[in-house]
Amino acid sequence: MIRNTILIVLLGLTGGCQFYQNVVMDEDGHFFPWHAHRDNPEHQKKWNEDKVEWEIKDAGRRYETGMIDRYQYNQVRKRHGLQPIPRIFPSLR
């Protein structure tokens, strides 16, 4: 029982999920990249810029697939200083 639980946890952590790709490992293959950069302002700035870019792209994908509505998508865009998208077809959304 314990062996199966450990196996499931390891598979969940090492799978291809977004948490693992964005938090545990970076594109250069470093584990916990945020931990090494917490005292370096240049890396913190880059990390924050990458996070903002990811949040905007993620919200765009979720809007296109219908997981969030236009209002929620515009809230993410406004939070990051972008203009909201206008309503084009009122009957579709």
User: Residue ranges of the domains in the chain?
Assistant: 17-93
Q: What mean pLDDT do residues 57-83 have?
A: 93
pLDDT of 80 above 60: yes
Q: What mean pLDDT do residues 32-59 have?
A: 80
Q: Can you give the pLDDT at residue 57?
A: 94
Q: Can you give the pLDDT at residue 69?
A: 92
**For the ranges 12-26, 41-55, 75-89, which has the lowest average pLDDT?**
12-26
Rounded to whole angstroms, the Cα distance separating 59 from 55 reads: 6
Residue 53: name the closest of 82, 31, 75 by CA.
82
pLDDT of 9 above 80: no
Q: Which residues of 37-74 are buried (b: 16+ CB within 10 A; e: fewer)?
A: beeeeeeeeebeeeeeeeebeebeeebeeeebeeeebb
User: Which residues does residue 25 pair with via DSSP β-bridges, in sequence order?
Assistant: 31
Q: What mean pLDDT do residues 63-78 have?
A: 93
Strands (E), the chain: none
